[in-house]
């Protein structure tokens, strides 16, 4: 075991998989010699060379389109989109091509492409370095959407994603890239896509979250329990598609209440989908309305990011109000 | 500057073989190869006609005819080799490893999608992968001239130029359509650091020659080529008739029987007929079908 942060866990996973499978290639803007703006690919260029750790021209559609071609040829490309905010020039390639290749070729061709991209706010990145666009991709049939919240999961989920035969959008929570630390096995291991993790057990309310917000949700639940005696169960979804609805439904059926915490803008966020699924699966068990705690329907505000992001205090209020409804 | 001038010089002429003096003297392509190419053009033309009929009868919901483009598509396919990759334009019926214009064993044919220009980037991707793997496969993508307006045209050619991939970008500019993308598409290759060529799109031997030369160059590590197939002055003679006249053979003698055409149409239509859409979204069961609903 080693003590790692998320960046180190991602880097370690990439390095192990490149050593294990020579078909794995990394490509993107400054991922080679420079090692990536967040250092996620540091050292890979030196270990695996310019033919497998590829600095591309600065054009996201070109990066993803090339990765699609490479995947058709038989490689396993792991393109990096430097910030999730920059993924939109590649949106056509992802939604119209990557997501549909298996479907429109009747299974002749698959695209085992894993797109890594840091997402979310809280790093003073302003409106073009802070967005959370995961719902747009979860909405697109043919894409898997995976979001780790800690180093152990980041490594195990990334290895599963790269080995998956279908395209995966792997969102990395950049606010906790270095803040979230933990013990990580140095060898390889995988975590299946589509299995949520119960990170804190509780009896009165289920709190659903993922990515950086999971830490806020967990802190709020711990504080409520210590200070006010409310018992909330916190579930880390880890994967939005496939979604572990069984674990969610079992928990909400037990607690009778549910609060969803995400930082994306409110309307049509993945929280909306979760609220719908919970009422579809658990209607007769519900003791209170299912609550959405989200960002606001504005562009991500530079100067007000701490007001914009669901805080520990706001999360505590949402859970408390749901339990005492 | 010297390199640029020589590239410009090279692009002045439109490559033609049929109806030229050297062709008429029998100094070009072997007769047996020519007959193979003509037979494929006739087959393509017959299947195209049958599919148009299916469309008229309401049995097909969508089909864009390629009548008049037989020389282009067949010429392209015959210029490639087994192991190469072909991304034919959206209008051509295709199946993996086999398309309606050529039976080239091991040719990887990728079914087209509607967003026309994104395929140019994919073709560059397979070419790039072949180069990274140290393999000799080239990738060839065909597209209509309107695609040269799209951002992905630039993206694909720029990536190809920067990384000198074994990619062939083959544009079809039929007469009367020249204006939407402006003049001289082949000439744009210079801006991306590789050469462009112009060829008569109704002359299958010329198309095959140009594709073959560009493919050889790509295989030799000398990078991509942009090829523009242009249509000469409009005549009443179809490319199939033109080639048959040059070869002094009768088109009728080469035609498939009605049963054979029917068989080809059935083959083309059978591809997606019975597939359950939800089985094709992901490799295993669609996670949203099994878990999320």
- Across the A:B interface, residue pairs with CB atoms under 8 Å apart total 137
On the question of pLDDT at A192 being above 50, the answer is: yes
**Would you state the pLDDT for residue B61?**
75
Question: What is the rounded CA–CA span in Å between residue B159 and residue A56?
Answer: 8
* Nearest-by-Cβ selection for B113 from A57, A67, A104: A104
- Please tell me the CATH code under which domain B11-179+191-269 is placed: 3.40.50.970
Q: What percent of chain A has pLDDT over 90?
A: 97
A37 touches chain B (CB under 8 A): no
| Chain A residues inside the 8 Å CB shell of B287 | 144, 194, 241-243
- For chain A, give the longest Cα–Cα distance: 59
Where are the domains positioned within chain B?
Answer: 11-179+191-269
Which one is predicted more confidently, A273 or B56? A273
E strand or H helix at A250: helix A245-255
Q: Who contacts A230 (Cβ-Cβ below 8 Å, separation ≥6)? A: A204, A205, A224, A319, A320, A323
Q: Do B292 and A277 lie within an 8 Å CB cutoff?
A: yes
**Rg value, chain B, Cα:** 20
Q: Is the pTM of this model over 0.90?
A: yes
**Would you state the pLDDT for residue B273?**
54
Q: Do B122 and A97 lie within an 8 Å CB cutoff?
A: yes
- In which residue are the tokens 């979204």 written? B281
Please list, residue by residue across B79-95, b when 16 or more beta carbons sit within 10 angstroms of its beta carbon and e when fewer do.
Answer: bbbeebbbbbbbbbbbb
* Nearest-by-Cβ selection for A69 from B111, B124, B280: B124
Question: What is the rounded CA–CA span in Å between residue B123 and residue B141?
Answer: 6
Average pLDDT, chain B: 84
Q: Do A66 and B124 lie within an 8 Å CB cutoff?
A: yes
* Nearest-by-Cβ selection for B129 from A73, A142, A277: A73
B282 touches chain A (CB under 8 A): yes
B123 touches chain A (CB under 8 A): yes
What mean pLDDT comes out for the span B204-224? 97
Q: Do A242 and B288 lie within an 8 Å CB cutoff?
A: yes
B3 touches chain A (CB under 8 A): no
**Would you state the pLDDT for residue A234?**
98
**Would you state the pLDDT for residue B174?**
81
Q: Tell which residue, A217, A203, A81, has the closest CA to residue A149.
A: A217
Q: Do B121 and A25 lie within an 8 Å CB cutoff?
A: no
What mean pLDDT comes out for the span A136-149? 97
Dihedral, CA of residue B67, residue B93, residue B77 and residue A111, to nearest 10: 150
On the question of pLDDT at A148 being above 50, the answer is: yes
- In which residue are the tokens 């520990």 written? A312
- In which residue are the tokens 């898997």 written? A144
The shares of helix, strand and coil residues in chain A, as percent rounded to the nearest 5, are 45, 20, 40
Q: How far is B280 from chain A (nearest CA, A)?
A: 5
- In which residue are the tokens 């711990």 written? A222
Closest residue, chain A, to B280 (C-alpha): A103
Phi, psi torsion values for A28, nearest 5 degrees: 160, -170
Question: What is the rounded CA–CA span in Å between residue B291 and residue B293?
Answer: 6
Q: How far is B154 from chain A (nearest CA, A)?
A: 10
**Would you state the pLDDT for residue B97?**
36
pLDDT tens digit string along A84-95?
999 999 999 999
A65 touches chain B (CB under 8 A): yes
Whether B117 contacts B147, CB under 8 Å: yes
Q: How far is B113 from chain A (nearest CA, A)?
A: 8
**Would you state the pLDDT for residue B98?**
42
What mean pLDDT comes out for the span B45-74? 86
Q: How far is B215 from chain A (nearest CA, A)?
A: 18
- Cβ atoms < 10 Å from Cβ of A128: 12
* Nearest-by-Cβ selection for A72 from B110, B132, B275: B110
Question: What is the rounded CA–CA span in Å between residue A248 and residue A257?
Answer: 11
Residues of A with a known catalytic role: 129
Whether A5 contacts A179, CB under 8 Å: yes
Q: Give contacts of A 125-184 with B, CB under 8 A.
A: 141-142, 144, 164-166
What mean pLDDT comes out for the span B68-97? 81
A52 touches chain B (CB under 8 A): yes
Phi, psi torsion values for A310, nearest 5 degrees: -55, 125
Question: What is the rounded CA–CA span in Å between residue A47 and residue A50?
Answer: 9
Q: Do B126 and A57 lie within an 8 Å CB cutoff?
A: no
pLDDT tens digit string along A218-242?
999 999 999 999 999 999 999 999 9
Question: What is the rounded CA–CA span in Å between residue A195 and residue A275?
Answer: 18
In this structure, what token pair is assigned to residue B118?
């994104």
E strand or H helix at A7: helix A6-20
Closest residue, chain B, to A53 (C-alpha): B132
pLDDT tens digit string along A268-297?
999 999 999 999 999 999 999 999 999 999
In this structure, what token pair is assigned to residue B86?
């072909």
Instruction: Classify strands A181-184 and A2-5 as parallel, antiparallel or unpaired.
Output: antiparallel
Euclidean distance between the first and final Cα of chain B, in Å? 64
Q: How far is B156 from chain A (nearest CA, A)?
A: 7
């Amino acid at each position: 075991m080693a003590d790692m942060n998320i960046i180190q866990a991602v880097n370690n996973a990439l390095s192990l998989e490149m050593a294990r499978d020579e078909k794995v290639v990394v490509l993107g803007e400054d991922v080679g010699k420079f090692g990536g703006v967040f250092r996620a690919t540091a050292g890979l260029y030196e270990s695996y060379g310019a033919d497998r750790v590829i600095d591309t021209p600065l054009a996201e559609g070109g990066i993803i389109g090339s990765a699609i071609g490479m995947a058709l040829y038989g490689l396993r490309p792991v393109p990096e989109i430097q910030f999730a905010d920059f993924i939109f020039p590649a949106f056509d390639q992802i939604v119209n091509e990557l997501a549909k290749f298996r479907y429109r070729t009747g299974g002749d061709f698959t695209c085992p492409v894993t797109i890594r991209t840091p997402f979310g706010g809280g790093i003073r990145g302003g409106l073009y370095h802070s967005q959370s666009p995961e719902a747009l991709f979860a909405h697109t049939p043919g894409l898997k959407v995976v979001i780790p919240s800690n180093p152990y999961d980041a490594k195990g989920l990334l290895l599963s994603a790269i080995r998956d035969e279908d395209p995966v959008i792997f969102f990395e929570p950049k606010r906790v890239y270095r803040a979230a630390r933990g013990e990580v096995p140095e060898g390889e291991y995988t975590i299946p896509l589509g299995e949520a993790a119960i990170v804190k057990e509780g009896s009165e309310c289920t709190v659903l979250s993922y990515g950086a917000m999971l830490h806020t949700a967990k802190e709020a639940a711990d504080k409520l329990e210590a200070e006010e005696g409310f018992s909330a169960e916190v579930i880390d979804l880890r994967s939005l598609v496939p979604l572990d609805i069984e674990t969610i439904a079992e928990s909400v059926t037990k607690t009778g209440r549910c609060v969803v915490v995400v930082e994306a803008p409110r309307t049509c966020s993945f929280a909306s989908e979760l609220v719908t699924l919970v009422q579809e699966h658990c209607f007769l068990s519900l003791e209170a309305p299912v609550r959405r705690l989200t960002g606001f329907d504005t562009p991500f505000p530079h100067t007000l990011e701490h007001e914009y992001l669901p805080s520990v205090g706001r999360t505590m209020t949402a859970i408390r109000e749901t339990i005492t409804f | 500057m010297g390199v640029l001038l020589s590239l410009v010089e090279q692009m002045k002429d439109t490559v033609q073989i049929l109806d030229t003096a050297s062709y008429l003297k029998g100094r070009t392509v072997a007769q047996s190869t020519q007959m193979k190419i003509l037979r494929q053009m006739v087959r393509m033309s017959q299947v195209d006609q049958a599919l148009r009929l299916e469309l008229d009868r309401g049995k097909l919901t969508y089909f864009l005819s390629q009548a008049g483009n037989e020389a282009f598509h067949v010429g392209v396919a015959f210029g490639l080799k087994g192991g190469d990759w072909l991304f034919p334009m959206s209008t051509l019926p295709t199946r993996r490893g086999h398309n309606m214009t050529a039976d080239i064993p091991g040719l990887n044919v990728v079914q087209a999608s509607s967003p026309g220009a994104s395929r140019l980037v994919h073709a560059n991707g397979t070419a790039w992968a072949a180069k990274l793997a140290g393999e000799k496969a080239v990738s060839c993508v065909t597209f209509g001239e309107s695609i040269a307006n799209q951002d992905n045209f630039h993206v694909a050619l720029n990536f190809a130029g920067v990384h000198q991939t074994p990619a062939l970008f083959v544009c079809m500019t039929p007469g009367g359509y020249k204006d939407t993308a402006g003049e001289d598409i082949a000439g744009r290759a210079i801006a991306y650091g590789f050469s462009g060529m112009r060829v008569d799109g109704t002359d299958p031997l010329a198309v095959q020659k140009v594709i073959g030369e560009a493919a050889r160059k790509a295989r030799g590590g000398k990078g991509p080529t942009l090829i523009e197939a242009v249509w000469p002055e409009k005549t009443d003679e179809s490319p199939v008739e033109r080639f048959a006249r040059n070869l002094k053979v009768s088109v009728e003698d080469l035609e498939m029987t009605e049963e054979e055409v029917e068989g080809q149409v059935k083959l083309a239509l059978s591809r997606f007929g019975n597939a359950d859409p939800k089985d094709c979204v992901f490799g295993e069961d669609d996670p949203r079908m099994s878990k999320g609903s």
